[in-house]
Amino acid sequence: MKKHARKLQSHDPVCGKRINRNKAHIVVEYKGRDYLLCCPLCQAEFEKHPEKYSR
Ligand SMILES: [Zn+2]
């Protein structure tokens, strides 16, 4: 049986780094989805170009 539970992506869309969700990270909401960012720099970049990183 396949598991297809929808879960939050676990990679930083900006730098591609894997996010350990047990550790501190930044969550940005964009168009109703939550995106995990590893650091304020990636957050700033994401917020500059959300369309580029949200797909
Ligand atoms: Zn990052």
Domain that holds residue 17: 11-55
Q: Among candidates 10, 13, 11, 7, which has minimal Cα distance to 43?
A: 13
Q: How far is the CA of 31 from the centre of ligand 1 (A)?
A: 20
Residue 51 has pLDDT above 60, yes or no: yes
pTM over the 0.85 mark:
no
In a domain, 48, yes or no: yes
Please give the tally of structural domains in the chain: 1
Which among 16, 13, 3, 22 has a CA at the least distance from the CA of 47? 13
Give domain status of residue 1, yes or no.
no
- Please say if the pLDDT value at position 1 is more than 90: no
- For residue 14, give the DSSP letter: T
Q: What's the CA-to-centroid distance between 48 and ligand 1, angstroms?
A: 14
Cα 15 to averaged position of ligand 1 atoms, centre (Å): 4
Q: How far is the CA of 1 from the centre of ligand 1 (A)?
A: 34
